A and B are shown apart, each in its own frame.
Chain A
Amino acid sequence: MAKILMKGNEAIGEGAVRAGCRYFFGYPITPQSELPHYLAKRLPEADGVYLQSESETSAINMVYGAAGAGARVMTSSSGPGISLMQEGISYIAGAELPCVIVNMMRGGPGLGNIAPAQSDYLQAVKGGGHGDYRVICFAPASVQEIIDFMKDAFELADKYFNPVMLLADGILGQMMEPVELGEEETVQIPDRAWAANGMRGREKKNIINSLYIVPEDMEVHNHKLTKKYAEITENEQRWEEYRVEDAEMVLVAFGTSARIAKAVVDRARDEGLRVGLIRPILVWPFPVKAFEKVIPHAEQFLTVEMNMGQMVEDVRLAVAGRRPVHFTGRPGGMLPVASDVFQEVKKLMSGGAK
């Protein structure tokens, strides 16, 4: 099939439809608005429902309701809108329902700006909402990956009865790249015997709930969730390794930062410097296994982020004090420049900075 040119935001929409998602509830916000714009056209073609809600709070609760009724459903927003959704995300995690949430990050905190950033990493991977819960979190780095990961995102949500987030920055949403869509496949959505969609001849009601008034019951539920998160952490770590085999300096970056970091690795290798890259594909669970492989030859690590250093905390936990972990990045909607990062790499490798 011939390639077509797509924006990242459109690719999320097309990827979702091809993954069998037929319900979208959301509210526009830059830089993700092309996604609802695309689905407003595309979902009716696929006999799906696109609904613009009156706020992000409504959108996430519509997702909660639709997921509870057994629908394959998603929403999307950017920083401020995702913050508004946190209560609903926590409810969905507590009620153990599958859904996909997209965050096309912009500059923050507060209203911030509409420029591309990776400012919501901590919010995405450390909880964001209240209570003991985790959200599986994809960090794609190209428009093709977005298409490919949407299916995985919905499947993981179904497999673990858990919300899955797609975390990207505005650049990925706005930039255009050629993509191979392939043939549209018939999607098998697992049977939803648990869904609250009418009695259908059953004796017992299906109830969707995150309320556990009796502390003993809540504790049991918390243990159940924690066991599930441990299972996800063990089974689902995903990352890309780039020229790390003999790397003395290992860069760590996700999404757009990883595209920049890759250019830095190539430049360093051209100059004979042993530099590689670990790119987390899922940022939760964090790919700690990737670090065990490189620790024997890696002398130091440098995380590259479009924020003030959020993922660097997870890298330090993975490295566990065995090697120095440095950070470089730019916040506020600015992009790190490859030549600046390269200078930092050279400085660190010559023992220049602490």
Chain B
Amino acid sequence: MFKDVLHTTIFCGNLGSGKTEVAINFSLSLKKYAKNVSLADIDVVNPYFRSRMIRHYLTEKGINVVCPIGELAGADVPALPPSVLGVLQNPEVKGVFDVGGDDIGATALGRFKPYLKEGSYNLYFVVNTRRPFTKDTDGILKYVSSIEKASRLKVTALVNNSNLGLETDMETVISGHEVVRLAAGKLGVPVGFAASLRHLAADLEKALSVPVLPLELNMQPPWSQAAGEQAKERLSIPGERFFK
């Protein structure tokens, strides 16, 4: 999944499909294989649960987080910093893009089309089949089409991120995988990988014929069991100083 990763990896999908968790965990794993990893948070849709919320934590882990900073991080304006272009133009960097949900979020991605040369990037469409609008093949195809139209880019692979948050079990991911596989077949693209809670990942990898990205959940409210003491301290919604 990571050894021959392309210059740019983009995660888009339906609102609430788990793009941000996937993008964060993908970046952290990628860091083991690549010297310079930049995570670009270009989400202009979600007000709270975005990669920038844990910018300090990711920076400590050696990830360069590109996002609106300071008071702009929590401002309700669809503005992105010019440093996003730096990620795309620097050949020494592996870039990971966390795109906002739905076609509205993907519109922001379309602005970078001139910098995305064919073969230099993967555009993953993240699917959670437990979300109301992407529970079946038809729903997934509809969303893929609307996102391709808005971004003017073609989806290159699907990611099965079927989950119920902390209530996710093997069945959730496996039943979702069948739906995602069918949709990928109709689109003529592969299922790039699946993602799931860390404790399920190894067993899932045996059950599914694709790699499984283990997830540590970061986008959790502070009282959640998943948010350990350390996670609580690093949570900041929507700016950077939320829990100080």
Contacts and interface: CB of A to CB of B under 8 A. Distances in A.
Interface residues of A, number: 34
Interface stretch (B4-12, B34-42, B117-125, B163-171): B163-171
Contact of B48 (A5, A170, A334): A170
B97 interface: no
B237 A171 contact: yes
Interface-central residue, A6, A7, A37, A335, by most chain B CB under 10 Å: A335
A328 interface: no
A170 B221 CA distance: 11
Contact of A177 (B15, B133, B165): B165
Interface string A241-263: 00000000000000010011011
A306 B202 CA distance: 41
B48 A116 contact: yes
Given A170-B48, A178-B165, A115 B128 contact: no
B46 interface: yes
Contacts of A338: 222-223, 232
Nearest to B243: A337
B31 interface: no
Contact of B164 (A3, A41, A113): A3
A171 B165 contact: no
Interface in A114-140: 114-116
B76 A337 contact: no
B222 A260 contact: yes
Nearest to B129: A4
B243 A175 contact: no
Given A5-B131, A335-B222, A335-B237, A176 B232 contact: no
Nearest to B133: A41
Given A4-B135, A335-B222, A170 B16 contact: no
Contacts of B223: 259-260, 262-263, 338
Interface in A299-344: 333-335, 337-338
A115 B74 CA distance: 8
B74 A34 contact: no
Interface in B54-98: 74, 76
A213 interface: no
A31 B48 contact: yes
B130 interface: yes
Contacts of A3: 130, 164, 167
B239 interface: yes
B185 interface: no
B26 interface: no
B47 A31 contact: yes
B190 interface: no
B167 A114 contact: no
A2 interface: yes
Contact of B232 (A114, A170, A337): A337
A155 interface: no
B76 A30 contact: yes
B16 A5 contact: yes
Interface of B: 15-16, 46-49, 74, 76, 102, 128, 130-133, 135, 163-165, 167, 221-223, 232, 237-239, 242-243
20 contacts: A3-B167, A4-B130, A4-B131, A4-B164, A5-B131, A6-B131, A6-B132, A7-B16, A10-B16, A10-B132, A30-B76, A115-B238, A115-B242, A178-B130, A178-B167, A260-B222, A263-B223, A335-B222, A335-B242, A337-B222
Question: Which 9 A-B residue pairings sit nearest by Cβ, starting from the closest?
Answer: A178-B164, A174-B48, A30-B47, A259-B223, A263-B223, A5-B130, A178-B167, A114-B76, A114-B47
Interface of A: 2-7, 10, 14, 30-31, 34, 37, 41, 113-116, 170-171, 174-178, 256, 259-260, 262-263, 333-335, 337-338
Given A5-B164, A5-B165, A334-B242, 20 more contacts: A3-B130, A5-B128, A6-B16, A7-B16, A10-B132, A14-B132, A41-B133, A114-B47, A114-B76, A114-B238, A115-B237, A170-B47, A174-B47, A175-B221, A176-B165, A259-B223, A260-B223, A334-B243, A335-B237, A337-B222
